[in-house]
A and B are shown apart, each in its own frame.
Chain A
Amino acid sequence: MSVTQPPLNSPDIRRLDPVLEPGHTYASVTDKIAAVVLTRPLGIGWLAGFTLAFGVVMLLFISIAWLVIKGVGIWGINIPIGWGFAIVNFVWWIGIGHAGTLISAILYLLNQKWRTSINRFAEAMTLFAVACAGLFPLIHTGRPWMAYYMFPYPSTMGIWPQFRSPLIWDVFAVSTYGTVSLLFWFVGLLPDLATLRDRAKSRYQQVIYGILSMGWRNSARHWHRYQSAYLLLAGLATPLVLSVHTVVSFDFAIAIVPGWHTTIFPPYFVAGAIYSGFAMVLTLAIPLRKAYGLEDFITMRHLENMAKVMLATGLIVAYGYFIEFFMAFYSGNKFDVFLAEQRLHGPYSHFYFALILCNILTPQLLWFEKVRRNVVALFLMSLVINTGMWLERFVIVVISLTRDFMPSAWGRYSPTFWDYSTFIGTLGLFVMLIFLFVRGLPAIAIAEMRELVHESDAKKGHT
């Protein structure tokens, strides 16, 4: 417009970081990603990390064994607080499990190129988080070997699950989500497993990847059907990912307990799930790109975009907190008003203020470009948000249950050693699975990276 406008190639104009650093070829991206799995020797870092995580998994096994021997009385739960850590952790893990499918499905439909190098391990993260999440309701039943009661099967008693209950909806939502995420992940992996099969040097690698890749041979006919199936899966997974946390929020919202019975729950649960999911992707991506030298593929562009998604979903979550308060007072319902006051002044108010600090105040730093482009700051921020999202679920579950309608039904909740050991145990399980995944399967989608190389080459050709 004006004469003073700088030319297009001026260094004064900040350009977006590329989604793939320049200079890569089909072979170089393939080599680099496949080498992590096929040829790289086991480092001391991997062994130490895996051993530590494996030790923590043993803690989980001991906790579950003791639970099976003694019953759920080893936890801090009792009437009126029957839900406690098990449900807090369930909702937290399932929320984390949302980012993978969101990145893979929704960003795929929106044609976002930056999803390519983070979708694979985000999907793996989703599967492992869903596995950790599914464990909690299972062991919370106290008799996990009776869990099949929740599925509709023709029993000699002639009775059926109560399909009008959100807890049964949850069984279907979470198991469908787990299955579809696994299918989506496997379909994405298929061409990469064939790549590993073709490059494998040792016999056992050839056999394992050969079996897993099912004889995939990169034929144009295969690719055509593959792309059709992948697109359809993305389209199916998109409403699914939004439905899962909606159904989880129904577990609360359908009940009449003060603080739970609100219509804001479904959207704000979904936003919170995406918020914590992206935080967990950052928690994993930042060390991963450093440890395996993948900075060319997971660039600042990815980290910055994820920070922006966190900022946006964090604001939706903040809006949810605000509306909860607003509706409590606007409704004039004395139980809702009382619960809102209990969040601010009750025995668990320090959890509430910690939650506001972690989930609303600290993430506002993400408005600053300096913070979004600082890897260490982002890593710390992701940990803060993960903590905040855990506190959110604690506040929702515990404060409402300890302060419902009648003072005679009020109570207090304090977790025991076994509550903590089970929770920390699932963290160990998650980390251990991530460690195994990184060395056993390509952590970045190789075929999609080659496609990205092709597209960036084509773009260069036109200019």
Chain B
Amino acid sequence: MTEHHSPLHGVMGEFETPEQLLAAARKAREVGYKHVDAYTPFPIEGLAHAIGFRWTAVPLITLIGGIGGGLTGFGLQYWCAAISYPMNIAGRPLNSWPAFIPVTFELTVLGASLFAVVGMLALNKLPQPYHPVFNVERFASASTDRFFLLIEAHDPKFNLAESSRFLQELSARHVSEVKDEE
């Protein structure tokens, strides 16, 4: 798949505690690795920051969804009641906006929620049926009690022997090569 047809995706170090992983992730960034990822059975505070991931577009997407939903909600009601089918009921205003608030509110929440979830999944590139990390047998414990640090092969500083040694020195309990069989 890659230019060099390299079947290697990276090397992965396995750690026993979140603190060890956090320290290792910071160290990896310090020595100059750019393409690292970490895998943990539950979210760990500061870990995303430590692997160099700071900003996420999820809140912005949610805001857009909310504004879009609200405008759709109010616009729909205004258009139906005042433009498409105006009904004069005892001279009351056609744009009776206080009565339109509940539906506008509901559609604001609906739009924002749908965008938040779909946006989160899309940014995470899910659903994704295949990923090389699953080729590592020990990786299954990333959803139980093990913490993994991956140095990706396309990192400019990556070198199989050196990067493996680097992870071992960081007290990784086990270091595995991640093969990309696709």
A residues near B (Cβ < 8 Å) are: 25-27, 30, 152, 158-161, 163-164, 166, 168-169, 172-173, 176, 179-180, 183-184, 186-187, 191, 194-195, 197-199, 211, 214-229, 232-233, 236-237, 239-240, 243, 247, 250, 447-448, 450-451, 454
Residue numbers in B under 8 Å from A184 (CB-CB) = 113
- Establish whether residues B39 and A220, one from each chain, have CB atoms under 8 Å apart when the complex forms: yes
Q: How far is the CA of A287 from the CA of B53 in the complex (A)?
A: 44
- Establish whether residues B102 and A243, one from each chain, have CB atoms under 8 Å apart when the complex forms: yes
B96 within 8 A of A: yes
Given the contacts A179-B110, A215-B128, A243-B105, A163 and B53 also touching, CB distance less than 8 Å? no
- Establish whether residues A214 and B77, one from each chain, have CB atoms under 8 Å apart when the complex forms: no
* A452 to chain B: closest residue by CB: B42
Question: Closest CB-CB distance, B144 to chain A, in whole Å?
Answer: 5
Residue numbers in A under 8 Å from B120 (CB-CB) = 187, 225-226, 228-229
- Establish whether residues B144 and A215, one from each chain, have CB atoms under 8 Å apart when the complex forms: no
The B89-124 residues at the A interface (CB cut-off 8 A) are: 96, 99-100, 102-103, 105-107, 109-110, 112-114, 116-117, 119-121, 123-124
Some 16 contacts from A to B, beta carbons below 8 A apart, are: A163-B99, A163-B103, A173-B106, A179-B110, A194-B143, A198-B142, A214-B126, A220-B40, A220-B51, A221-B51, A224-B48, A226-B124, A232-B62, A243-B105, A451-B42, A454-B44
- Establish whether residues B56 and A224, one from each chain, have CB atoms under 8 Å apart when the complex forms: yes
Question: Closest CB-CB distance, B56 to chain A, in whole Å?
Answer: 5
Question: Closest CB-CB distance, A193 to chain B, in whole Å?
Answer: 10
Residue numbers in B under 8 Å from A223 (CB-CB) = 40, 42-44, 47-48
Q: How many A-B residue pairs have CB under 8 A?
A: 188
Q: How far is the CA of A25 from the CA of B41 in the complex (A)?
A: 12
Residue numbers in B under 8 Å from A160 (CB-CB) = 80-81, 84-85
**Within the complex, which residue of A159, A164, A237, A447 is in contact with B99, where a contact is CB–CB below 8 Å?**
A164
**Within the complex, which residue of A225, A233, A450 is in contact with B42, where a contact is CB–CB below 8 Å?**
A450
- Establish whether residues B100 and A215, one from each chain, have CB atoms under 8 Å apart when the complex forms: no
Given the contacts A152-B80, A216-B126, A225-B123, A26 and B145 also touching, CB distance less than 8 Å? yes
Residue numbers in A under 8 Å from B7 (CB-CB) = none
Q: How far is the CA of A2 from the CA of B117 in the complex (A)?
A: 56
> How many B residues touch A, CB cutoff 8 Å?
60
* A187 to chain B: closest residue by CB: B117
Q: How far is the CA of A169 from the CA of B100 in the complex (A)?
A: 9
Residue numbers in B under 8 Å from A250 (CB-CB) = 102
- Establish whether residues B142 and A217, one from each chain, have CB atoms under 8 Å apart when the complex forms: yes
Residue numbers in A under 8 Å from B121 (CB-CB) = 214
Determine chain A's interface SS by DSSP, over half rule.
Answer: helix
B180 within 8 A of A: no
Residue numbers in B under 8 Å from A232 (CB-CB) = 58-59, 62, 112, 116
Residue numbers in B under 8 Å from A186 (CB-CB) = 117
Residue numbers in B under 8 Å from A451 (CB-CB) = 42-43
* B145 to chain A: closest residue by CB: A26
- Establish whether residues B58 and A236, one from each chain, have CB atoms under 8 Å apart when the complex forms: no
- Establish whether residues B109 and A222, one from each chain, have CB atoms under 8 Å apart when the complex forms: no
- Establish whether residues B48 and A221, one from each chain, have CB atoms under 8 Å apart when the complex forms: yes
Which one of B26-34, B129-137, B157-165, B169-177 contacts A?
B129-137
- Establish whether residues B106 and A26, one from each chain, have CB atoms under 8 Å apart when the complex forms: no
- Establish whether residues B96 and A164, one from each chain, have CB atoms under 8 Å apart when the complex forms: yes
Residue numbers in B under 8 Å from A240 (CB-CB) = 106, 109
Q: How far is the CA of A186 from the CA of B126 in the complex (A)?
A: 14
Q: How far is the CA of A412 from the CA of B36 in the complex (A)?
A: 73
Q: How far is the CA of A418 from the CA of B166 in the complex (A)?
A: 73
* B110 to chain A: closest residue by CB: A176
The B42-68 residues at the A interface (CB cut-off 8 A) are: 42-44, 47-48, 50-51, 53, 56, 58-59, 62, 66
* A192 to chain B: closest residue by CB: B143
- Establish whether residues B102 and A183, one from each chain, have CB atoms under 8 Å apart when the complex forms: no
* B58 to chain A: closest residue by CB: A228
* B51 to chain A: closest residue by CB: A220
**Within the complex, which residue of A26, A211, A221, A222 is in contact with B41, where a contact is CB–CB below 8 Å?**
A26
Q: How far is the CA of A293 from the CA of B142 in the complex (A)?
A: 26
Residue numbers in A under 8 Å from B56 (CB-CB) = 224-225, 228
B127 within 8 A of A: yes
Given the contacts A198-B140, A221-B124, A247 and B102 also touching, CB distance less than 8 Å? yes
Residue numbers in A under 8 Å from B112 (CB-CB) = 232, 236
- Establish whether residues B103 and A215, one from each chain, have CB atoms under 8 Å apart when the complex forms: no
Q: How far is the CA of A103 from the CA of B131 in the complex (A)?
A: 35
- Establish whether residues B106 and A176, one from each chain, have CB atoms under 8 Å apart when the complex forms: yes
B76 within 8 A of A: yes
A27, A224, A247 — most chain B CB neighbours (10 Å)? A224
B25, B37, B107 — most chain A CB neighbours (10 Å)? B37
B70 within 8 A of A: no
Residue numbers in B under 8 Å from A164 (CB-CB) = 81, 96, 99-100
- Establish whether residues A218 and B106, one from each chain, have CB atoms under 8 Å apart when the complex forms: no
Question: Closest CB-CB distance, B119 to chain A, in whole Å?
Answer: 7
- Establish whether residues A152 and B58, one from each chain, have CB atoms under 8 Å apart when the complex forms: no
Question: Closest CB-CB distance, B180 to chain A, in whole Å?
Answer: 14
- Establish whether residues B58 and A229, one from each chain, have CB atoms under 8 Å apart when the complex forms: yes
B18 within 8 A of A: yes
* A197 to chain B: closest residue by CB: B143
Question: Closest CB-CB distance, B166 to chain A, in whole Å?
Answer: 19
Residue numbers in B under 8 Å from A237 (CB-CB) = 109, 113
B38 within 8 A of A: yes
Question: Closest CB-CB distance, B34 to chain A, in whole Å?
Answer: 14
Q: How far is the CA of A159 from the CA of B87 in the complex (A)?
A: 11
Q: How far is the CA of A447 from the CA of B103 in the complex (A)?
A: 35
Given the contacts A163-B103, A176-B107, A220 and B44 also touching, CB distance less than 8 Å? yes
Question: Closest CB-CB distance, A333 to chain B, in whole Å?
Answer: 24
